Structure 1
């Protein structure tokens, strides 16, 4: 890597058993809860995708299973664990965050490696998911101002 280059950020953890993650996932001290009010996925045709929001019914805040570490480049960093989607999310995306209910927090934070992997292999209950489709564009077009006016 070039001396002035930064490593590429990682958004999500697809598989806790892969070499990149297993060392952190085996040690409960590197597990965390990511507080979430909702999460979004892109829905629609390429070039016209809109933002679809997902939340949990009757829960204004919930937790996404994550791993964290200290990065020489950025300090403390974290990434969320993903899993196959449930049927509620399937019409929009084939993956979803590993969502945790309050009675599961302690198991995620202090359980065995096998407990952690079990969360990634389970199906989150469909009936707890709330969906809000919007017309908001997934990607906002950049507006460029020139002497001739504004252009998208």
Structure 2
């Protein structure tokens, strides 16, 4: 999972999630690791209010690593568990679709997955509050039946709208219950990103 789209301006994203857009300049585009994109996170200086905050997709690597980490799969890893246990380090990653590749080697085709009936949805994410590297990473999980047939191996952890608050505030034992494939019947896959 290394490409998603957020084809909506900051104002529309903020309205969808009931947060403050602040000065986020986002106008809509694609996102790949190393590029900035807005995430929804609390502002420790202003209490429980949430804001769109531009951050880079990718967090600093573990001590033995050399490349930024864009996705988190092993939630029991000591490298991630400390972050996951702190709700203030969790975030929502708004998206309108995400890319996946399907087909046999040499004939793979890019497809775009989205959530039916929701122009903007959210992935579960974590953020690192390093001033030199304000980044985020996306959680992934097993693919649902629809995506499994297309062969990506993993899928982003998509949250139901009613679970956004739980992801951002619950103790980890409770929030961890949200880690599951998003239902196939609530998704669509097409040749192009949805308009």
Correspondence for 1:138: none
The SS at the match of 2:147 is coil
Extract unaligned runs of 5+ from structure 2: 1-64
What are the within-5 Å matches in structure 2 for residues 2-151 of structure 1? 7-71=66-130, 74-92=132-150, 93-120=152-179, 122-133=180-191
Q: Deviation at 1:24? A: 0.3
SS class of match (2:124): strand
Give the number of aligned pairs. 127
Consecutive aligned runs of 4 or more in structure 1 exceeding 3 Å deviation: none
What is the Cα deviation at residue 39 of structure 1?
Answer: 0.4
Structure 1 Cα separation of the partners of residues 181 and 158 of structure 2: 10
- Rounded Cα–Cα distance in structure 2 between residues aligned with 1:33 and 1:123: 16
Q: Which residue of 2 aligns with 1:148?
A: none
CA distance in 2 between partners of 1:15 and 1:61 (Å):
26
Instruction: Write the deviation string for residues 36-64 of structure 1: whole angstroms up to 9, x where unpaired.
Output: 00001111222332111100001000000
Q: Which structure is higher in strand share? A: 1
Q: Which runs of 5+ in 1 are unaligned?
A: 1-5, 135-152
Q: Larger C-alpha radius of gyration, 1 or 2?
A: 1
TM-score normalised by length of structure 2? 0.61
Give SS of 1:94's match: coil
- TM-score normalized by structure 1? 0.77
Structure 2 counterpart SS, 1:91? helix
Q: 8 Å contact 2:87–2:168 — kept in the other structure?
A: yes
Q: Name the CA distance, whole Å, in 2 between partners of 1:10 and 1:123.
A: 21
**Farther off after superposition, 122-131 or 56-65:** 122-131
CA distance in 2, matches of 1:49, 1:20: 33
